[in-house]
Amino acid sequence: MIESANSRFQIPPEYYLCCMTLTKTISELLDLRQETEWIEYKVNNYKPQEIGEYISALSNSANYHDRDKAYLIYGVEDETFEVVGTDFKPREEKVGSQELENWLATQLSPPIDFTINELIFRGKPIVIFIIDATRSTPVSFKGKSFVRVGSYKKALDDHPEKERKIWNNASRYAFERATALEEVSSDEILELMDYSGYLGLLSQAVPFNKIGILDKLVQDKFIVSAFDGSDNFSITNLGAILLAKRLDDFEGIDRKAIRVIIYQGINRVKTRKEQTGTRGYAIGFEGLISFINSQLPTYEDIGQAFRSEMSMYPPLAIRELVANAIIHQDFSIGGSSPMVEIFDNRIEITNPGKPIISTLRFIDHSPQSRNELLARAMRRAKICEERGSGIDKVVFECELHQLPAPNFISGDNYTRVILYGPKTLRQMDKQDKIRACYQHCALKIVSGEFMTNQSLRERFGIEEKNYSIVSRIIGDGIDAGLIRLYDEDNKAKRYTKYVPWWF
């Protein structure tokens, strides 16, 4: 522990290191001796509305100038760049009943990551907002977008040439290629990244020397050599998010850690346990899946000679859905990460971002991902499917275990999959049955077969004498526009074949 010079309180070493990093950042910005379009200096003008507009303007301007971050600094005069200190204490500020930081975050669209830091710099109190450049669309505050023009904050609508470039930048941005940590020595890289664990996933031997290890990390785009001829490297977001021994070592990346929340009952009123991942996705995946499976309800399977505890949910389905949530998330949505929520009667797996394709085409569509480099690395590590058949397996496993059909939901800025616990046919509602009918029909087609009354009876575990129950479910599926007759001229109901609407 480190003791503050003006306090008897003990300061954790990680806090001290954070202050050292911030001190270095502020010093480098002041050395520029200018207020750029992605840096704003102020002393005490900290009206909440003004701060929100500056966050919008600085985030958009950072994108325009191809910068990863923008900065709003209180305690520095904007003309002389003299450090004079500030009486702004953001942690104590409120807007109505909301804390300032939370209020600002709720007014920004799309959500972006920003951090508020208070520290003593050159003996003076300083506040620095570190703001992510927008990566998807121009950032608006309370519905209006701003941008910096010289040292002035302007409405983005009045500068279409800047808005056009921001949109163009957003369309070509790849999260994986951006920098997570700059000016890192080779020894620091070996300390921060679990290279041996990753090579083990690939069934590759660890090179005998440091140069060989670094070469492999460069080849896989996990690190990038410095262009100034030094021996330093930059760790990419891809390298950090996959191989980090500790996600907390990478500011911003740590907010993408996967959360697992276990609730008591069937709602979110009472939380029984919550755990957030601490390691990179590739390195920590098996541990994550083991933890999730250990929290799932089980039942006792009595065989001829032995009893065994069986998970209520297919382990393969859990694995595929968690991997999909990781790979298909939208990293441009700040402050959110993949999340697994476990209830007594269901599991919900959510990732940031609307799906690229319709949820109705998840079963048959060729694989597409926002994050191709991440997807490729996860496939090489045998964590996810290479052929895009992961959802097919999920649906098949649910059918095999006689579970209700999974529910794929597309929200405004999220994708959610719900796996339900066992239900009898009587307990299923009409939508449960229609969804199961459609998914069964789609799964049959991608398997080179057709859905029939008999195949759907087998899926639901219904006896042949009750074929009329299945006929009604098929009729509801046709009325919903999800399935259709394969051969309209076939009048023999016993041999009628059905196909999805898109076939």
Q: Which CATH number belongs to the domain containing residue 462 in this structure? A: 1.10.10.10
129 has a pLDDT exceeding 60? yes
Cα 108 from Cα 393, distance rounded (Å):
38
Q: What is the pLDDT at residue 368?
A: 67
Over residues 36-44, mean pLDDT = 92
49 C-beta neighbours (distance < 10 Å), count: 12
Same domain, yes or no: 220 and 274: no
For 306, the token pair is 């032995």
- Spatial contact of 294 and 273, defined as CB atoms under 8 Å apart: no
Instruction: Tell me the pLDDT band of 384, cut-offs 50, 70 and 90.
Output: confident
Side chain identity, residue 335: G
Cis before residue 207, ω within 30 degrees of 0?
no
Instruction: Tell me the pLDDT band of 386, cut-offs 50, 70 and 90.
Output: low
Q: How far are the Cα atoms of 366, 440, 478, 487, 502 from residue 499, in angstroms, in the given order?
A: 18, 10, 10, 10, 8
Over residues 364-392, mean pLDDT = 79
Same domain, yes or no: 348 and 223: no
- Spatial contact of 499 and 483, defined as CB atoms under 8 Å apart: yes
Instruction: Tell me the pLDDT band of 5, cut-offs 50, 70 and 90.
Output: very low
Same domain, yes or no: 429 and 418: no
Q: What is the pLDDT at residue 495?
A: 73
Q: What is the pLDDT at residue 354?
A: 87
Cα 100 from Cα 248, distance rounded (Å):
24
Using DSSP's 3-state secondary structure scheme, residue 485 falls into: strand
Same domain, yes or no: 6 and 151: yes
241 C-beta neighbours (distance < 10 Å), count: 26
- Spatial contact of 497 and 487, defined as CB atoms under 8 Å apart: yes
Instruction: Tell me the pLDDT band of 25, cut-offs 50, 70 and 90.
Output: confident
Lowest mean pLDDT among 13-17, 148-152, 358-362, 439-443: 13-17
Q: What is the pLDDT at residue 226?
A: 72
Q: What is the pLDDT at residue 227?
A: 57
Same domain, yes or no: 274 and 147: no
* Domain end marker among 364, 394, 422: 422
Residue, of 183 and 475, whose pLDDT is higher: 475
Residue 349's domain spans which residues?
Answer: 257-422
Q: What is the pLDDT at residue 385?
A: 63
Q: What is the pLDDT at residue 163?
A: 85
Same domain, yes or no: 158 and 186: no
Over residues 457-482, mean pLDDT = 93
Task: Please state the length of the chain.
Answer: 503
CA 34 to centroid of chain Cα atoms: 36
Number of separate domains in the chain: 4
CATH number of the domain bearing residue 347: 3.30.565.60
Same domain, yes or no: 18 and 136: yes
Cα 486 from Cα 503, distance rounded (Å):
9
Residue, of 228 and 119, whose pLDDT is higher: 119
Give me the helix-helix angle, 372-380 and 315-327, nearest 10°: 150
Instruction: Tell me the pLDDT band of 244, cut-offs 50, 70 and 90.
Output: very high
CATH number of the domain bearing residue 38: 3.30.950
Same domain, yes or no: 129 and 278: no
Q: What is the pLDDT at residue 13?
A: 43
Q: What is the pLDDT at residue 268?
A: 95
* Domain end marker among 199, 229, 249: 249
* Domain end marker among 406, 422, 438: 422
Same domain, yes or no: 315 and 345: yes
Please write down the HEC assignment for all residues of 110-161: CCCCEEEEEEEECCEEEEEEEEECCCCCCCEECCEEEEEECCEEEEHHHCHH
Cα 60 from Cα 109, distance rounded (Å):
12
pLDDT digits (tens, 9 = 90+) for 274-315: 999 999 999 999 999 999 999 998 866 555 555 556 788 999
Cα 353 from Cα 415, distance rounded (Å):
6
Same domain, yes or no: 152 and 6: yes
Print burial letters for 185-220: b (CB count within 10 Å at least 16), e (below 16): ebeebeebbbbebbbebeeeeeeeeeeebbebbeeb
Same domain, yes or no: 370 and 503: no
Same domain, yes or no: 295 and 310: yes
Q: What is the pLDDT at residue 492?
A: 63
pLDDT digits (tens, 9 = 90+) for 246-285: 999 998 899 999 999 999 999 999 999 999 999 999 999 9
Q: What is the pLDDT at residue 66?
A: 79
Q: What is the mean pLDDT of the chain?
A: 87
Cα 16 from Cα 5, distance rounded (Å):
12
Cα 181 from Cα 257, distance rounded (Å):
17
Phi–psi pair at 181, nearest 5 degrees: -150, 130
Q: What is the pLDDT at residue 306?
A: 52
